[in-house]
Structures are given as C-alpha cells and as structure tokens.
Chains A and B, each alone.
Chain A
Amino acid sequence: MVPLYDSKFLDDTFGNKYAFRLYASALSLSLSRSRFWVYLDQVQRTESFCLNSGKMIRLFKVKEKQRELAENANGKPPVKKQSPGELRLHKDIGELNLPKTCNIAFPNGKDDLMNFEVTIRPDEGYYLGGNFVFTFSVSPIYPHEAPKVKCKTKVYHPNIDLEGNVCLNILREDWKPVLNINTIIYGLFHLFTQPNYEDPLNHEAAAVLRDNPKLFESNVRRAMAGGYVGQTFFTRCM
C-alpha cells in the first residue's frame, strides 16, 4: 500500500501550495491537474462567508488556560441531552386526539416518551371486543425516520404477522415527516376495521378473508377467545 502522505511527488511554486498538496494527494488518484485547478478555483471563489476567525486561535489559547484551571474543580452533574426527535415527539404526544377506542400508556414513566404502548379496542368489524397492544419505539431523529411499531398481542390478521410485524404503508415506504403519532394510531385502528387481503403478511389469513369471509370471521373469534386456528395457538385478548 502506498502511503498517501509521502509528500514527495509535488514540487510546485504555486501560492496556495499547502492546499494544493493536500488536495493533490487526494486527487492524484483520479484527477488530472487541469481539472484540479477548476476545482480549487470553484472552492475559493465561493468563500464569501467569514467568521472573525483571526481571533479564533486567541480564543483557543484562553480556553486552554481555563481548562487547566477547571480540571481541578469539581465535576458537574451529568446533563441529560434531549434529542430533536424527543422534542418533536413531545409536541405529537401533547396534541394526541385519540378516539375512545384507543388508549396510550408510558411503561417507563412520564419522562420517557420515546417508548410507549397503544391499546386498540375496535368498536366494529371482525375484531370487535378484542384488545390489541402495540409497542412504539421512536428514534432520536424522529420525524426524519418513522417510529418502529410492533403488535405485542398475537393476532390472526392478514396484515399483521405472528411476530407482530405490521404492514402499514405509512410506517415504511410512505412515511413523511409531516405525519405524526396520531396518524399512525388512526392507521392501525383502520387495519382492524378494514383488514385487507391485498397486502398480506399472514398469507393464510389473507387467503381465507378473500375466499371465505364467514370462515375468516369465525377464525378471528376463535383466536380472540383464546384457541387454535390451524396449527397456531392464540392467547385470549377479549
């Protein structure tokens, strides 16, 4: 392996040779010199912004002295950092407008909003009377990234598999930062009133719903009451 920092290969007399050498060692891998100059020119012509940076090094000097002094002083108590995701989530949670059929709980207390549980009790359709618990785990870069949602209750459902994975477009491919926790909860609620065999995660359940809705209905009742559907056992959730 050739060390890139053997600065032998250039001996020019250009003004900004330091920069040239630094860039050139990087660019020699792929660029000709003429193209490099176009590059450097681009960079320099756009350097319009300036902080009062001549003073920077003097600030460093002062700070270094302060640091030495501070090392003898007592340590401060650790400060908790609040991520931007947490702040935005705070807003979402404070504005929650849940239907009566949905409940939210914070198992880790009032100061951990990033992990919570939502219970859905459908008031119509196949799943009437069941209690379905979903766990939400929210990232520190929320809403840039959608929350991770899993169904904790084992359910016989075409769009939820036996591991609790949920097929809901806004949780994955259609997530947008303008959406919020309320939207997701309504989306989940909708899955129970309108299960959909076209986007199956549990294909057996989806096939039954498509071909024999009556059998599907009785399978759902049996699963919710606690019992076997085919080879799979479901715990009671009514």
Chain B
Amino acid sequence: MLDFDYERPGSLDAAVVLLAEHNGSARPLAGGTDLIDHIRNERLTPDVVIDIKRIPELNVLECTNDGLRLGAAVPCSRICADDNIRSRYAALADSCSIIGGIQIQNRASVGGNLCNAGPAADSIPALIALEATCLITGPDGSREVPVESFCVSKGETVLQRGELLVELRFGPRPPHSGSHYRRFIPRNEMDIAVVGVGASVTLDEAGEAITDARVALGAVAITPFLAREVNDALIGKPATDQTYAAAGEVARGIISPITDMRGTREFRLHLTGVLVERVVREAVHRAVN
C-alpha cells in the first residue's frame, strides 16, 4: 500500500482542525471497509488517514421516544443488536444486517456507507425512507442536510473540503408506522444489490388506509433516491395488495436503470416493481403488528 500518516483525534474539534490543516489531502477512516481497499487500489491517495472512531460524537447511539441519534462511526453490528432500533427503525436494522458478512458488519459504519455514496449502498434507501437528517461539521461550523440530498452522484456527496458527517438524526416514529428494506441479490448473502428498496408507511388508526409513505430506490440510478411518485401512489389509499401492485407499477415507470454485469435493464425494471410491492406489504404488516 502507498505510504500515509495516521492520526487518531479524541475530539470532534481536533478532527476538524486536522482535516483543515491537511487541506484536502486527509481522509476520514471509520470502519475502513471501503477506504482501505480504495487506498490499496490507489483510487484514493491520502497523505493522512484520520481515524474518527474514538470521537465521542461519532459513537452516539441513542434510541428513545424522542427519536434516534446515530453517530456516523457506529458499526452495523451495534445497530443490529439494538432491540429498540430493530422494532422502531426496522428498515435501518434490515439494511445493516445484510451489509457484507459478520466480519464486515463489525467494522462498517452507516456513516461510511453513506459517505462512500455507492449507487447500491444498502443503508441509503433505508435512511431515506426513515427520513434521516445528516449533521455535518466543518471549518465553517455545522449544518444539516436531509439524507435524500446528501449524495449528489456516484461517489460524490455534499460534503465540502474539511467537513465531517457527525451524526444521523431521526424523528420519533409515528403510531401505526412500519418500515422495511430489502434487496435482490443472486446469492443469499454477501453480494451487491441488483435493486434495493426501502419503505416506511404510516396507517390510520383502523390500520386500513395508508396516511403517509416514503419509498426509496437503490441501484437503479446514479444515487439512491426518494421515489416521490411512488409515495403519492400510496398515500390516501387502502392498505391492499392492489395498492402495492399499483405502487410497483409506478416505480417501474419512473426509473431508467442501466444494464451491467449484475442485471439487464429489463430485469431491473421487473425487480423494482416486485420489490416495491413486497417491501411496502411488509412495512404495512409491521405497522399493524
């Protein structure tokens, strides 16, 4: 591997100062499951790697009635082990339980998954469905960005030079709500999504009609995105198979996926419809139970 230096700041302030000092030649290191491979392949050539795992703000994990605070460096395995997250923010736990195998989940963070900005990154559709907000800190102070605006292109985010993603913040879950993330891969585990779908739905008190919905699609565009037309096809509709099928049809109509080694355009179109239908059905099922 190319040579680089290593710093391990113990505070957020120290990390921001270090990033500023190195003026673009430093790279944050969370779990390293993307970064170390990128450095090995010389796709990235930082002079300094800044280990952010010992910064307290990036290790926060608090799931209460007021919402969820998820530090950017918390590894997937800690998220999957949290019963409150599994019941209230199920789509997030679903995605973290399928990112790589156990070895990867013990290191990989959701912050790193998001900052790496892969089109097929599994956590991003779940974060969008659950309406997460990104807390960012940099040399000019802090700002907040809705997660659906965070990735601007493949591998590119809104982060400016010297900025760190600190935390993902989620509001409290409304009563009668449920969420789910699922992807299609040709194996049972350890593969990259051909299509991934995250959904969150809220039902009326009777559990019969959908009062709110957020559906996000992954691996069918340059970044995962909020499928507003699909939300509109669900909101105000009865929670029935017919509604889910119609939403799947709408999803097919708004994407123009590419053909690559993982699947053809036609296959992705078909899968997107099927997955939207199934993921929304499961989210409704969880909202009822």
The answer to whether A and B come from one shared complex is no
